[in-house]
């Protein structure tokens, strides 16, 4: 069974743990570099990117994650998690991992629609749209040449992939549909770290 870490420093950790389980994986809370060694992939949940980024740096998780990403370690970032993966963030830059070649704009939806639910068409998950929540979500305002856009909403990218890095501006873990997590888990099984 594939072991999926959920970065458990701050944010909606329990919802992601439940979705990993629903998708057929074994969820593991990750708070330290030691925890990271036992997992095959890592989810960076939504929350407050400044807080999560600061704690990651304090525990040395930022450098450990960057090193693994160079080996092809799979990451799935949602909302604040996407912000942390980006190489550039507008609207106040938290300490970033800087592994995903996109520029994001934090809290970029207007006040009225700061948070809303929506149905997003995600072709890689099949024809049924995915029920998601945008919660003080960022917008992806630049996509690098090696980044694939897997889904758009109102003409803008909301789900992107760069190799084994997957990231969404929305929360896929709230409505109880595990298809997004299943898709991530399927990619994870094809990764293995270099022999020590
Ligand atoms: N607004 C948060 C940030 O900029 C992200 C919100 C979320 O993860 N739902 O860090």
For ligand 1, say whether the CB of 48 is within 6 Å of any of its atoms: yes
Pseudo-torsion of CA 45, 48, 53, 56, nearest 10°?
A: -60
Q: In terms of Cα–Cα distance, which of 111, 99, 95 is closest to 55?
A: 95
Which of 11, 107, 174 maximizes ligand 1 atoms within 8 Å of its Cβ, making it the mutation to test the pocket? 107
For ligand 1, say whether the CB of 10 is within 6 Å of any of its atoms: no
Query: Average pLDDT of 123-151?
Result: 97
**pLDDT at residue 191 above 70?**
no
Question: How many residues would you count in the chain?
Answer: 196
pLDDT of residue 112: 74
pTM value is 0.96
**pLDDT at residue 168 above 70?**
yes
**pLDDT at residue 183 above 60?**
yes
DSSP string, 77-128: EETHHHHHHEEEEESS-------EEEEEETT-S-GGGSEEEEEE--GGG-SS
Q: How far is the CA of 67 from the CAs of 64, 163, 181, in angstroms?
A: 5, 15, 23
Residues 120 and 129: beta-carbon distance below 8 Å: yes
Whether 181 sits among the annotated catalytic residues: the reply is no
For ligand 1, say whether the CB of 36 is within 6 Å of any of its atoms: no
Percent of the chain's residues with pLDDT above 90: 90
1 Cα: distance to centroid of ligand 1 (angstroms):
31
Query: Average pLDDT of 146-175?
Result: 97
87 Cα: distance to centroid of ligand 1 (angstroms):
16
What secondary structure letter does DSSP report for 39? Answer: -
Q: Which of 15, 16, 35, 79 is catalytic?
A: 79
Q: Which pLDDT tens digit goes with each residue over 61-72?
A: 999 999 999 989
Whether 173 sits among the annotated catalytic residues: the reply is yes
For ligand 1, say whether the CB of 51 is within 6 Å of any of its atoms: no
pLDDT of residue 80: 98
Q: Which pLDDT tens digit goes with each residue over 74-104?
A: 999 999 999 999 999 999 989 999 999 999 9
pLDDT of residue 110: 81
Tokens 């990651």 sit on residue = 56
pLDDT of residue 146: 97
Whether 171 sits among the annotated catalytic residues: the reply is yes
Query: Average pLDDT of 142-168?
Result: 97
Range list of H helices, the chain: 13-22, 33-36, 49-58, 61-70, 80-85, 179-188
Q: Which pLDDT tens digit goes with each residue over 24-59?
A: 999 999 999 999 999 999 999 999 999 999 999 999
Mean pLDDT of the chain: 95
**pLDDT at residue 4 above 60?**
yes
């Amino acid at each position: 069974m594939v072991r999926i870490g959920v970065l458990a420093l701050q944010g909606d950790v329990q919802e992601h743990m439940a979705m990993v389980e629903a998708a057929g994986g074994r969820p593991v809370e990750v708070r330290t570099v030691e925890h990271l060694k036992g997992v095959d992939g890592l989810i960076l949940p939504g929350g407050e990117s400044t807080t999560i980024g600061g704690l990651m740096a304090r525990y040395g998780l930022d450098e450990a994650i960057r090193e693994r990403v160079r080996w092809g370690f799979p990451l799935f970032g949602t909302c604040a998690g996407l912000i942390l993966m980006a190489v550039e963030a507008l609207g106040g830059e938290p300490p970033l991992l800087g592994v995903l070649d996109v520029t994001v704009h934090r809290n970029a939806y207007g006040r009225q629609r700061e948070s809303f639910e929506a149905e997003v068409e995600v072709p890689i998950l099949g024809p049924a749209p995915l029920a998601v929540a945008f919660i003080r979500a960022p917008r992806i305002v630049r996509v690098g040449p090696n980044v694939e856009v897997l889904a758009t909403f109102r003409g803008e990218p909301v789900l992107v992939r760069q190799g084994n890095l997957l990231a969404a501006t929305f929360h896929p873990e709230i409505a109880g549909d595990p298809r997004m997590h299943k898709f991530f888990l399927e990619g994870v099984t094809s990764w293995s770290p270099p022999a020590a």
